[in-house]
Structure 1
Amino acid sequence: MFRKLPAYVVQNVEIYQREVLLGATKKNPIEYFLQATNVYFNHDRHYRGIVRGVQYTCSVIRGLCEFMAQEELEAAKGEIVPLLAELQELLSFAWVDEIPQQQVAGSSPRKIFRLDQVFRQQAKGVILRVLQLVYEFDALVSLADATLEHGFAIPEVLDGDIRIEAEGLVHPYLIDAVPNAVRLDQQERVLFLTGPNMAGKTTYLRAVAIALYLAHLGIGVPAKRFGFVPLQRLYSSISLNDDIHAGISYFRAEALRIRVIAESISQGHSVAAVMDEPFKGTNVKDAFDASLAVLERFATKEDCLFLFSSHLIELDDQLEETKQISRSHFIAEVDGGRLKFDYQLRPGVSDQRLGVRVLEEEGVFDLLDGTKEKNPSQSKATKINSNKKGSE
């Protein structure tokens, strides 16, 4: 269908429907004739627009009729079936039989004006709905092509308690990404994620959020397998900003985001929330206390799932008795004096602290101490980051 109906053809039909063009609109034969004569002889631009629009519309209708005549469509399944049924009904109107099988550019003005009257008056609503269906088919075909091309998995809707089960999950924007698993259920509804900078925490959280969102749309997910019980709300707190005009600091923005999540939970919605190092906009003591208070409360919320990354590994000591919290981490290794990352998710809590080491690798302290000249060449960490398969 899309070879016969390139995008510009369908777009021009919509332009034709929306454009203000003079035409023959009267029902009285004499008035109709006078209108048509006036447009034909005195308004050449309008007439050429009508001819072009009629020709494109006829091409679309002919192409759709050929498409619907394919025997393969009888075996169609899923979301496309009701769309096909509606399209078949729309193409069953009597005026469709008036569509010529050849190009209309050389047809008589009488025929052109007659078709224009049908397309822009009598069947205008039908034509616009047909275009909407074509757009829906286009979107579904594009999604199917992307799913096949990238090897995405069709998500499986599960029964029972709210949960997510995924294997081979990756971020769709990364080439040769390292796959990981995710499992959250009502026994362990909170994931406490730790690890050093650049080890992959943020990318993992984004991958989970993207997959969950795509799964709720019913389209392919970048994973080998993805099963889930549908939720009512999906929230993220990853890339927040302050707002100087509204007088909202970064920490206030974090607090407001948590409030939105809390309000949704209090309203009885099933919620999935993905939070990347929340409360980093305040001092360590307040960040620790706030994180602990929020995590303890998240752990009690049934029919909800939470992913919570943090550098505050001391939180684990306070959450040791909280059974609804699972712990996973990423690591960094030192090879030849350089940091290396494998981006593999591991159980437990990381105790690695590499912030100072990264500054040392970048030569920050040497530059400040005056023991190293500024080097315009690429730093070690930058070289490593440019080749890695995941990032934070």
Structure 2
Amino acid sequence: MMFKTDKQTLTDLNVLDWNSASLLRFFDHTLTLGGRDQLYNYLMHPLTTIEEIVERQETIAYLSTVNVSKLFDKYMMVDLERYLNKPAAPSVKNRTSYFLDTISFNFFSLSAQREQLLVRQSVREIAMLFTALQDIVAEAKSSGKAVGLLRIYADFFSANASVFDKEEMRQVGRGKSWRLTTHKYNYLFRGKRRPQVQELFNMIYTLDALTAVAKMWNEGGLCFPRVNTNDTAAALLRIEGLYNLALDNPVKNDIHIPSAQNIWFLTGANMTGKSTLLKSIGICIHLAHVGFPVPAQSMETILFKGLMTSINLLDNIGSGYSHFYAEVMRLKTMGEIMTVDNPVVIMLDEIFKGTNYQDAYEATLNFINSISGIESSLFFVSTHITDLGEIVGMDSCVALKHLETKADPKQGAIFTYKLLDGIATEKLGMWFLNRESVFETFRAVQPRKSSS
């Protein structure tokens, strides 16, 4: 089973882009290329069980208390990957035959010397990584903190205790071993124990990615959410002190969505922050299911099976889709997913803005009616069609929300970005047009001479 999301949603929430405001850039303090790849993979594939989420949270929390940076070296790992991916060890029956094969070449040639240097350095570094990580896991285990992935890593080292002699590996890692010992481990690392070495590398990359997340958690402002089952949850979603990571001075809001009122009807004029609020909530839900800390003071959520958004939806010229038809097809896709997976989170920003007002009014009303009564899933619908508020507000499943705007005689409209109950009543379109003297600008254009 996979958590249902897609490229549109990841783009809307700015999860994986390489711009400065993306989640990937925020958490990417990795020191290895493999660690960065692992971080990308984590953000792209949310988890599907509470046990997996808790396990990752526990690992990150523990890594925030220890220093494991000595395990991570970008250039060392590149060289080790090159070493491990060289042609596999010759097909020989034993280590002695392999050793004889390796010295049968011209020992004094430049290529042979380079090969021997790579082998000695790589064997030493792999042994060093093995023992260093083994010591970290052993320390966590002895202190009763071998939680999450560290517990799995402890099992890995226990299973391989008879294969790799710890003290001998420690001497190899320090560069204090005989040449025959180096050849022994070169034979093992690139031969039948190659899978264990690759697993060691993967463990290093995983710890690099999670340590990068732990670093951001240590800086404050983030919390680990509690993920509940539907049976134990007092609410579908509760977030205290929610804010947006991309803003320098974000306004914080509290979100509380009980199971009996799982449809948000969000109104507000342009620039009041509706899209930003939806993105902030979506980011918290996504990160919660990734097992990462979220930008909030506290958070509780049920375990969802998917998150689908339509915030920055574009038309599709290649497919011949207008913006409205792209909205139609997007909604159809969401509905088809919900027939298979439920509960999910659906976010729709400025729904049906690709058609005329009357069509948008009727379509929005019909959509609200069609989703009313669907239990456990969450629906966020933002719109400019405030006239619908009185009608949809009669539905007990619908919560009316808006973002506050204050009027000031000198400054005009002041956006507080605070979430309030009810329907927005401000109509600021004409105010903006008049403030910027748009109509006067056109009136100032010299009239064309009439043709004779």
Name the TM-score class by shorter chain: 0.7 to 0.9
Give, in whole Å, the separation in 2 of the partners of 1:56 and 1:147. Answer: 30
Q: CA deviation at 1:121?
A: 0.5
Give, in whole Å, the separation in 2 of the partners of 1:225 and 1:30. Answer: 62
Give, in whole Å, the separation in 1 of the partners of 2:72 and 2:216. Answer: 19
Counterpart in the other structure of 2:169? 99
Q: Are 1:149 and 2:215 matched, yes or no?
A: no
Counterpart in the other structure of 2:435? 361
CA distance change for structure 1 residues 262 and 3 in 2, over 3 Å: closer, same or farther? closer
Q: CA deviation at 1:319?
A: 1.5
Q: CA deviation at 1:238?
A: 0.6
Structure 1: tracts of 5 or more residues without a match: 373-392
Counterpart in the other structure of 2:104? 37
Counterpart in the other structure of 1:390? none
Counterpart in the other structure of 1:383? none
Give, in whole Å, the separation in 2 of the partners of 1:30 and 1:152. Answer: 57
Considering Cα pairs closer than 8 Å and 6+ residues apart, tell me whether 1 or 2 has the greater RCO: 2
Give, in whole Å, the separation in 2 of the partners of 1:137 and 1:280. Answer: 45
Q: Tell whether the 8 Å contact from 1:196 to 1:352 is kept in structure 2 after alignment.
A: yes
Tell me which amino acid in the other structure corresponds to 1:34. D
Give, in whole Å, the separation in 2 of the partners of 1:138 and 1:189. Answer: 38
CA distance change for structure 1 residues 158 and 65 in 2, over 3 Å: closer, same or farther? closer
Counterpart in the other structure of 2:302? 229
Tell me which amino acid in the other structure corresponds to 2:340. Q
The 10-residue stretch of structure 1 (11-20 or 194-203) with the greater mean CA deviation from structure 2: 11-20
CA distance change for structure 1 residues 15 and 34 in 2, over 3 Å: closer, same or farther? closer
Secondary structure in 1 matching 2:379: strand
Q: CA deviation at 1:68?
A: 3.2
Give, in whole Å, the separation in 2 of the partners of 1:71 and 1:330. Answer: 47
Among the aligned pairs, what percent are the same residue?
25
> Which of 26, 29, 52 does residue 92 from structure 2 map onto?
26
Structure 2: tracts of 5 or more residues without a match: 1-66, 447-452
Q: Tell whether the 8 Å contact from 1:195 to 1:350 is kept in structure 2 after alignment.
A: yes
Q: Tell whether the 8 Å contact from 2:266 to 2:383 is kept in structure 1 after alignment.
A: yes
Q: CA deviation at 1:139?
A: 2.6
The 10-residue stretch of structure 1 (4-13 or 352-361) with the greater mean CA deviation from structure 2: 4-13
Q: Are 1:83 and 2:156 matched, yes or no?
A: no
Give, in whole Å, the separation in 2 of the partners of 1:316 and 1:13. Answer: 62
The 10-residue stretch of structure 1 (228-237 or 259-268) with the greater mean CA deviation from structure 2: 259-268
Q: Are 1:342 and 2:416 matched, yes or no?
A: yes
Counterpart in the other structure of 2:332? 259
TM-score, structure 1 as length reference: 0.86
Q: CA deviation at 1:232?
A: 1.1
Give, in whole Å, the separation in 2 of the partners of 1:32 and 1:102. Answer: 17
> Which of 73, 85, 92 does residue 7 from structure 1 map onto?
73
Q: CA deviation at 1:130?
A: 1.5
Q: Are 1:135 and 2:208 matched, yes or no?
A: no
Secondary structure in 1 matching 2:219: helix
Secondary structure in 1 matching 2:254: strand
Give, in whole Å, the separation in 2 of the partners of 1:24 and 1:41. Answer: 21
Secondary structure in 2 matching 1:332: strand
TM-score, structure 2 as length reference: 0.75
Q: When the two structures are aligned, how many residues end up with a matched partner? A: 371
Counterpart in the other structure of 1:197? 270
Instruction: Write the deviation string for residues 173-208 of structure 1: whole angstroms up to 9, x where unpaired.
Output: 222211111122221110100111111111110111
Q: Are 1:61 and 2:130 matched, yes or no?
A: yes
Q: CA deviation at 1:11?
A: 4.0
Q: Tell whether the 8 Å contact from 1:200 to 1:343 is kept in structure 2 after alignment.
A: yes
Tell me which amino acid in the other structure corresponds to 1:18. N
Give, in whole Å, the separation in 2 of the partners of 1:78 and 1:260. Answer: 39
Give me the CA root mean square deviation: 2.6
Q: CA deviation at 1:297?
A: 1.3
Counterpart in the other structure of 1:351? 425
Q: Are 1:210 and 2:283 matched, yes or no?
A: yes
